[in-house]
Structure 1
Amino acid sequence: MRSGRAPKTGLLPGVSNMAAFPLLFPLLAGCVAAAVHPSRHRPSCRIVGTSVACSDLSLTSAPANLPSGVQVLDLSHNQLQNLSRDSLADHMGLRHLDLHGNKIHFIQPGLFEEMRDLKVLDLSGNRLNVFAQAKIHIGPLSAVKSLDLSSNGLYTAMSDFFLNDSPSLVELSLNSNSITKIAQNTFSGALSLRKISLHNNVILEIEDGAFDSLDGLSELDLSKNSITCITDFNLSRLRALNLSRNSLELFQSTRSAEPYHLAFLDLSENKLPYFPLLPTNNTIQHLDLSRNRLQSVEVMDMADTKMPETVLTHLKHLDLSYNRLTGLPQSFFNTMMSLEVLNVSNNCIISFSVTDKDLLPTAKIVNFSYNSLQILFLGEGTLQALEELFLQGNDLSTLAHRTFQRLPSLNLLQLQNNLKSLPYRAFANTPLNLLDLSLNPGLEIHRDSLAGLEHSLVQLFLRENNISILNTDMSSLRSLKLVDLSTNHLTRLPAWNRESSIETLNLHNNSLVTLDRTTMAALERSLKTLYVGDNPLSCCGNLDLVRLLQHSAVVVPDIEAATCILREDLEPVNIEKVTREMCRGRKKAHHIIVIVVMVFLAVIALGLLMKYCKSRKRKRIRRFSA
């Protein structure tokens, strides 16, 4: 495997032995001084069996008063600067030594050669670039299997001074350094390596053959670097390759019939315009191409010549999200007989159809969210294993009558779109467990749209749909436990009976004045959580709700916004503070006002009657006088 070649930078000028001597002298002097004058007052370490933790104790050297037989020693986050035989003389039998987060800039050559049981050595977060600048080899790491040199300010070729004689090394971390190039001989002293991590460097170039001598290499992490292209990828024994967060514009494997063991390939967050040219005889199971610049799923070579489609019979997980795809032809899935998860969210796809029942036979999760879908067609007998379908954030306004009825395994459906109507028995024949129909303003739901989900539907979301009246019959949905009707214009609730099993009901931000007494009584048996804030509730018209909130275990997360109106001329009060006495006093005052008004009206009527009678009497007197 080779990558784009970087220009010479001159970051590592040569240093002669004589030039290195002035640098070594103060380091050696400091080392001797630390050994002769150890600190007299040391904080105590934590000892558990053969493990000793001396982390974050401001130590300047390894403690000398530890029990014999220590196998694990943690000296991380201290003030160690120099490591010598004297400072570690009492700890030659260690199996695990953690020196992370110190200020180590000098290690006595050959120090770890005598630690014949040392398997794990963590030197990350130190200043080993100073040691490497002196061009001194650390000496044999004959027994070390895991070595961490992360965050040491190491430049290109500096790692050679630590890896030159590491025959047992299996796992190596060089993360977060300043390496710009992987040379052909970088790992020549550690031929047993199986896992290498070079995350977060500034790698521009990988020389041809840099990893070829590592027959056992199975995991390689080159993420977050500056690699622009990979040509002639030939690491057939590699099982996991991470090239995410680079600047890749091309990924091309060698065209050979040799079997490749690569199972995990991460090419996310790059600049790939086309589908990568993968090994012909591959076993790839997980392929991540998200956040690239894919305009199509065609495979192109370096000369922009269209190549045959790659056979991906082992592929289980494919992520194409956050690209620029406008279409996804059915032929693309011809060889993906094992695909279980397909993510093409956040693209520009307008239509998607599956007409061949032999396509995507094992697909369990399909995510088409946040595209421009206007057409969705699923043929008879297709996607029979599909369990979760995400379609939110598209332009679907209508659905074919049997679109979802043909999916016998579907248990989760996200339909937050611009749907205008929901067909009769839209989800019959499915074991749908979660249905999200939110964010469909003006959605018309047929009374029997949810028929067929009586024994399966558990969660139903209908928020932000501008619904004022919900005509759908929900009383038959006996498995329903969560209903979200928030941010609508509901003036009344749908009918529920005592067989309801609803545990969470969200009525937040609606136009509810009173909650039907019968409905509340039906819900009270199972209800555990209720959202009812931001409604123009009547205090005295919802005394059953007041009792429910004050004398039951029902939780109201938005209780601070749950207010009600006691009288039109008064400010709303929190519903928890309402008492029956408030309403009784209001009723008494209401009765008095009614009586006063009636008496007043009676007096007026009596006065008018008396006036009328007097008027009639005068008329009679006048007729008699005539």
Structure 2
Amino acid sequence: MSCCWTEGVPGPCGLNYKRLLIPFKIPKSMKVHMDAFCSDLSLMSAPADLPPGVQTLDLSRNQVQNLTRETLAYHTGFRHLNLRANKIHFIQPGLFKDMTELKVLDLSRNHLNVFALSKINVGPLTAVKSLDLSSNGLYTGMSDYFLAESPSLESLSLNGNSITKIAQSTFSGSTSLRKIGLHNNVILEIEDGAFDSLNRLTELDLSKNSITCITDFNLCDLKVLNLSKNSVELFQSVTSADYYNLLSLDLSENKMSYFPLLPRNNRLEYLDLSRNRLQSVNVTGSPEKRVFFYQLRYLDMSYNQLQSIPESFFHCMGSLEVLNVSNNCIRSFSVANEVLLRAVRVINLSYNPLQSLTFEENTLPSLEELYLRGNDFATLDHGIFQRLPSITHLQLQQNNLQICSADQDRQDPPGCVAFSSVPSLRYLDLSENNLRTVPADAFAGSPLTLLDLSLNPGLDMDKDSLAGLERSLVRLLLRQNNISSLSTDLSSLMSLKHVDLSTNQLTALPLWNKDSSIESLNLRHNHLVTLEYSTMLALERSLKTLYMGSNPLSCCSNLDFLHMVQNSTVVVPDIKTVTCVHEEHSEPVNIEKVTREMCRSRSGVRNVAVAVVVTVSVVLIALALLVKCCHSRKPKRNRSFNA
């Protein structure tokens, strides 16, 4: 076993060239930088022959127990030292004192809790900027022995330990910290002023702990705060006119019943309140006390208990782009004010008991994606989607909507919704809507590229239901509709590449011509016995992927098709489960095993049998005719008697 050593010699334009270390003469004036990678070698220490000049040493995932000068082969010039995932439980006092160039030190996944019991400081860590102490079994107070003399430290990870309290003095020796990770501890308490000395702190991760409340939040310079997966019931900032630089606040997966009280003068762009217990949003209070979110772009309040969201709630959110309020108890949602939500691009209202949805004219001009899945809508305003000039994605799965016809003279079902003449619409999901019919020209004027009509049992599609989509439609999903025959003409859809007809009752394939552009076709779980070879031949030019499993195919009636599958470039991902029925086999035969000889032998036996039957029949007929002929020529006997 040996380490892999690489070296870098400064080259032209300041570039470093790295290559395997081989003996060669280097001019004294030329500085050499080397990296040594010795991970996963079951080493107890660094190799004794470690070359001078090594700046990076990777000893991760070895068996190091005692970290001493000898362990590191008496080298002190490291810039990057990786000792992750060893069994270190002792560090020689003063070991890092002479490592004045050490910038990155990774001691994660060791047993440093044992060393901390000695109450000896590990420092000084004079130049270290990044220190990883995660997963070391450290509990409250133990981290102090690693941080006491770390004046240059900027990034610290204490993730995955057993810390229960952050004391006021915890970071007193590391005042240059910019990023602190305390994810997955057992923190119950944070003493007042614990972070006050960290004037450069911009990112703090306190996720997955046991914090119950944050009061008097006053970290004005902090930009990212993660408090997700705690037990926070209250978040309240100090009442102040100071400007806060907080950009991202994650309070997801807590126990908050009320909207957090955030600084009035904030720069917040990302706010996640999902998976809490919110029952309402606070829109009360005088204008001079109200908190404004002028720069907020992302707001997630999904998986709460919100009953409603008043339109006035959005008055201070002129920059909002993404709004997620799915999985709540909202019964009504409306946008009538043209000034509000002008920048919003995505609204997710899925899985609410919505009974009313209203978008007035000239509202939501930037809305591109609207998710309304699982709301059990039976009716919507006939032209609601035509009022959304930028809509591209429309998710309506698991509702009870019916489609209006584009023909104004036609009698439409009451409460139907029009999906025609939405010039920006590209993706439409109407699966699981108990759709009964798709009328002619249902989507005319809407350049759909994806249309999902799956899981609508008994769906009746007009032969012209897809008219108008000839040049746009790329993906069509019609799975689990109990369709026995498809009257809709798919051959006219020149851009169609992906078709899913699985789990239906098709006995024949739709017709396609030689100009077909189909690349992927799913025919699994149908009633196909014989496939029209001419149709498959038309598809072969473009077809790349074909799913065929769970069909009662006949082996010998599909020889040409099977030959095509066996010898063409078409990929059948489920080919191991695609079988056909052969009269001489009691069990279905995998299509890969079918040969022409199997069918010729059966055909030959059948032909011989037919010939024998025909011959015997001819002989019998001939004999019958001969007997009849002889009988007709035989002289009649005189049957008279004399008295």
When the two structures are superposed, what TM-score results if normalisation uses the length of structure 2?
A: 0.79
Match of 2:297 in 1: 316
What one-letter code is carried by the residue in structure 2 that aligns with 1:164? A
Match of 1:461 in 2: 477
Query: Among 429, 434, 438, which residue is 1:414 paired with?
Result: 429
Query: Among 135, 143, 148, which residue is 2:127 paired with?
Result: 143
Q: In 2, Cα distance between the equivalents of 1:588 and 1:59?
A: 73
Preserved contact between residue 72 and residue 97 of structure 1 (Cα < 8 Å): yes
Q: In 1, Cα distance between the equivalents of 2:63 and 2:109?
A: 12
Match of 2:162 in 1: 178
Identity %: 59
What one-letter code is carried by the residue in structure 1 that aligns with 2:588? P
Q: Which 5+ residue runs of structure 2 have no aligned equivalent?
A: 8-33, 329-350, 406-416
Q: 1:61 and 1:579, CA in 2 relative to 1: closer, same or farther beyond 3 A?
A: closer
Q: Does 1:169 align with 2:169?
A: no
What one-letter code is carried by the residue in structure 1 that aligns with 2:500? D
Preserved contact between residue 164 and residue 188 of structure 2 (Cα < 8 Å): yes
Preserved contact between residue 52 and residue 70 of structure 1 (Cα < 8 Å): yes
Q: In 1, Cα distance between the equivalents of 2:86 and 2:174?
A: 26
More deviation, 151-160/416-425: 416-425
Preserved contact between residue 59 and residue 84 of structure 2 (Cα < 8 Å): yes
Residue 114 of structure 1 aligns to a residue whose secondary structure is coil
More deviation, 590-599/118-127: 590-599
Q: In 2, Cα distance between the equivalents of 1:342 and 1:597?
A: 79
1:355 Cα deviation from its structure 2 partner: 0.8
CA deviation profile, 1:148-180 (whole Å, cap 9, x unmatched) = 111121111221222122221110000111111
1:321 Cα deviation from its structure 2 partner: 3.9
Q: 1:458 and 1:341, CA in 2 relative to 1: closer, same or farther beyond 3 A?
A: farther
Q: In 2, Cα distance between the equivalents of 1:141 and 1:606?
A: 115
CA deviation profile, 1:390-441 (whole Å, cap 9, x unmatched) = 333x233424565444654333333332331334433333342222222222
Q: Does 1:398 align with 2:398?
A: no
Preserved contact between residue 124 and residue 150 of structure 1 (Cα < 8 Å): yes
Q: In 1, Cα distance between the equivalents of 2:445 and 2:243?
A: 43
1:518 Cα deviation from its structure 2 partner: 2.9
Q: In 2, Cα distance between the equivalents of 1:403 and 1:275?
A: 38
What one-letter code is carried by the residue in structure 2 that aligns with 1:71? Q
CA deviation profile, 1:66-86 (whole Å, cap 9, x unmatched) = 222111112223333333456
Q: 1:357 and 1:249, CA in 2 relative to 1: closer, same or farther beyond 3 A?
A: farther
Preserved contact between residue 281 and residue 309 of structure 2 (Cα < 8 Å): no
Match of 2:580 in 1: 564
Query: Among 117, 120, 126, which residue is 2:101 paired with?
Result: 117
Q: Does 1:45 align with 2:3?
A: yes
Preserved contact between residue 423 and residue 447 of structure 2 (Cα < 8 Å): yes
Q: In 2, Cα distance between the equivalents of 1:225 and 1:129?
A: 19
Q: Does 1:430 align with 2:446?
A: yes
1:62 Cα deviation from its structure 2 partner: 4.0
CA deviation profile, 1:171-224 (whole Å, cap 9, x unmatched) = 000011111111222222212111110011001112233223222211111111
Q: Does 1:134 align with 2:118?
A: yes
1:616 Cα deviation from its structure 2 partner: 12
Q: Does 1:93 align with 2:77?
A: yes
Q: In 2, Cα distance between the equivalents of 1:560 and 1:433?
A: 32
Match of 1:495 in 2: 511
Query: Among 370, 376, 386, which residue is 2:391 paired with?
Result: 386
Q: 1:321 and 1:266, CA in 2 relative to 1: closer, same or farther beyond 3 A?
A: same
Matches within 5 A, 1:218-367: 218-294=202-278, 296-299=279-282, 311-325=292-306, 332-333=313-314, 335-347=316-328, 348-351=351-354, 353-356=357-360, 359-367=363-371
1:514 Cα deviation from its structure 2 partner: 1.5
Preserved contact between residue 397 and residue 417 of structure 1 (Cα < 8 Å): no
1:327 Cα deviation from its structure 2 partner: 5.2
Q: In 1, Cα distance between the equivalents of 2:283 and 2:624?
A: 101
Q: In 2, Cα distance between the equivalents of 1:384 and 1:253?
A: 40
Query: Among 517, 531, 540, which residue is 1:524 paired with?
Result: 540
Residue 90 of structure 1 aligns to a residue whose secondary structure is coil
**Alignment root-mean-square deviation, CA:** 3.7
Preserved contact between residue 263 and residue 284 of structure 1 (Cα < 8 Å): yes
Preserved contact between residue 497 and residue 520 of structure 2 (Cα < 8 Å): yes
1:375 Cα deviation from its structure 2 partner: 4.9
Residue 96 of structure 2 aligns to a residue whose secondary structure is helix
Matches within 5 A, 1:197-236: 197-236=181-220
Q: 1:381 and 1:466, CA in 2 relative to 1: closer, same or farther beyond 3 A?
A: closer
Q: In 1, Cα distance between the equivalents of 2:628 and 2:322?
A: 91
Q: In 1, Cα distance between the equivalents of 2:358 and 2:292?
A: 19
Q: In 1, Cα distance between the equivalents of 2:159 and 2:212?
A: 19
Q: In 1, Cα distance between the equivalents of 2:629 and 2:185?
A: 109
More deviation, 83-92/192-201: 83-92
Q: In 1, Cα distance between the equivalents of 2:404 and 2:639?
A: 88
Q: In 2, Cα distance between the equivalents of 1:83 and 1:115?
A: 14
Greater relative contact order (Cα < 8 A, sep 6+): 1
Preserved contact between residue 418 and residue 441 of structure 1 (Cα < 8 Å): no
Query: Among 514, 519, 529, which residue is 2:530 paired with?
Result: 514
Preserved contact between residue 350 and residue 375 of structure 1 (Cα < 8 Å): no
Q: In 2, Cα distance between the equivalents of 1:597 and 1:481?
A: 51
Q: In 2, Cα distance between the equivalents of 1:300 and 1:152?
A: 46
Q: In 2, Cα distance between the equivalents of 1:396 and 1:623?
A: 94
Q: In 2, Cα distance between the equivalents of 1:121 and 1:585?
A: 76
Q: In 2, Cα distance between the equivalents of 1:623 and 1:488?
A: 79
Residue 530 of structure 1 aligns to a residue whose secondary structure is strand
Q: 1:360 and 1:158, CA in 2 relative to 1: closer, same or farther beyond 3 A?
A: farther
Residue 113 of structure 1 aligns to a residue whose secondary structure is coil
Preserved contact between residue 343 and residue 366 of structure 1 (Cα < 8 Å): no
More deviation, 116-125/571-580: 571-580
Q: 1:589 and 1:126, CA in 2 relative to 1: closer, same or farther beyond 3 A?
A: closer
Q: 1:162 and 1:204, CA in 2 relative to 1: closer, same or farther beyond 3 A?
A: same
Q: In 2, Cα distance between the equivalents of 1:493 and 1:566?
A: 21
1:613 Cα deviation from its structure 2 partner: 11
Residue 146 of structure 2 aligns to a residue whose secondary structure is helix
What one-letter code is carried by the residue in structure 1 that aligns with 2:295? H
Q: Which 5+ residue runs of structure 1 have no aligned equivalent?
A: 1-42
Q: 1:59 and 1:290, CA in 2 relative to 1: closer, same or farther beyond 3 A?
A: same
Q: 1:600 and 1:180, CA in 2 relative to 1: closer, same or farther beyond 3 A?
A: same
Preserved contact between residue 411 and residue 433 of structure 1 (Cα < 8 Å): yes
What one-letter code is carried by the residue in structure 1 that aligns with 2:582? L
Match of 1:158 in 2: 142
Preserved contact between residue 330 and residue 353 of structure 1 (Cα < 8 Å): no
What one-letter code is carried by the residue in structure 2 that aligns with 1:47? W
Residue 252 of structure 1 aligns to a residue whose secondary structure is strand
Preserved contact between residue 280 and residue 307 of structure 2 (Cα < 8 Å): no
1:339 Cα deviation from its structure 2 partner: 4.1
When the two structures are superposed, what TM-score results if normalisation uses the length of structure 1?
A: 0.81
CA deviation profile, 1:3-33 (whole Å, cap 9, x unmatched) = xxxxxxxxxxxxxxxxxxxxxxxxxxxxxxx
